[in-house]
């Protein structure tokens, strides 16, 4: 498999983690997708022909996927704030699943499978233009997601304090918009922050976990396996672990 990312610039960084490109070789491949705290727009090409465009929900549990040989994928990894301000919808209805979109969504059907840079440039421009016309963005939400994605060891109480927004109101927002609680989201992001070190063979807890037992319990809860098995990543099973090592 081949994988690469392009990071967004400027204001789009509030909504997008990365644009990514993935390509299989001449054999089918099985992956397990594990929770990372994002959701994705995916355009899938088969032998250079666009076959599928879909929007995934957020994963709160591991899911197995089959990717055929000679497949290329363009993806956009969105931060959760994008649901409200770029898509203008909730995504709780597609939690742990995906929604098929028209092939011409955001003019994706006009791109060739060898045009990843053009895809990134055009979609970035489209989204930059659309955000110029947004009404004022709730600064509490901007700060909340900036803190969560940037500081993975915050508690619900501390986060609520920092953004001046009650934990009860935040949880109501999360459950209505995404289909899970703030605490669940914090635990997923904390696990995702550990994947890089795990991919390098470091299977001991960092400052985000109380001890080894807590670390193993949380990683197993969200990935279905132990840090030790994750680090081995046999047959490139865990896609996020493989892509961490590609960076």
User: Which domain-ending residue is among 132, 157, 173?
Assistant: 132
Do 7 and 55 lie in one domain? The reply is yes
Total structural domains within the chain: 2
Task: Measure the CA–CA gap between 114 and 48, rounded to whole angstroms.
Answer: 8
Backbone angles phi, psi at 21, to 5 degrees: -130, 135
Query: Using 50, 70 and 90 to split pLDDT, how confident is the model at 152?
Result: low
Pair (9, 102) in one structural domain: yes
pLDDT higher than 70, residue 246:
no
Cβ contacts of residue 72 below 8 Å, gap of 6+? 21, 22, 23, 24, 44, 45, 48, 113
pLDDT > 80? residue 33: yes
Cα separation, 52 vs 44, whole angstroms: 5
245 has pLDDT over 60: no
Helix H or strand E encompassing 33? strand 29-33
CATH number of the domain enclosing 161 = 1.10.10.60
Among 109, 132, 155, the domain boundary falls at: 132
Do 11 and 122 belong to one domain?
Answer: yes
Range of the domain at 154: 139-246
One domain for residues 29 and 83:
yes
Gyration radius of the chain over CA positions: 18
Region 163-170: mean pLDDT is 95
């Amino acid at each position: 498999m081949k994988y690469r990312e392009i990071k967004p610039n400027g204001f789009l960084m509030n909504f997008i983690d990365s644009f990514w490109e993935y390509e299989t070789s001449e054999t089918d491949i099985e992956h397990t997708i594990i929770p990372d705290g994002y959701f994705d727009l995916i355009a899938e090409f088969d032998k250079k022909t666009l076959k599928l465009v879909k929007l995934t929900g957020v994963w709160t549990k591991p899911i197995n996927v089959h990717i055929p040989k000679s497949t290329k994928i363009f993806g956009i990894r969105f931060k959760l704030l994008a649901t409200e301000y770029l898509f203008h919808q909730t995504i709780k209805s597609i939690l742990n699943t995906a929604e098929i979109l028209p092939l011409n969504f955001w003019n994706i059907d006009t791109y060739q499978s060898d045009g990843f840079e053009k895809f990134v440039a055009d979609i970035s421009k489209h989204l930059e233009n659309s955000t110029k016309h947004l009404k004022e963005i709730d600064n509490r939400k901007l700060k909340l997601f900036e803190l969560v994605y940037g500081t993975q060891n915050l508690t619900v109480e501390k986060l609520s304090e920092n953004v001046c927004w009650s934990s009860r109101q935040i949880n109501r927002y999360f459950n209505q918009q995404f289909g899970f609680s703030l605490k669940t989201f914090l635990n997923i992001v904390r696990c995702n922050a550990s994947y890089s070190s795990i991919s390098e063979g470091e299977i001991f807890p960092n400052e985000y976990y109380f001890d080894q037992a807590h670390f193993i319990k949380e990683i197993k809860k969200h990935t279905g396996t132990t840090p030790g098995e994750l680090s081995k990543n046999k047959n490139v099973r865990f896609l996020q672990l493989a892509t961490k090592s590609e960076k």
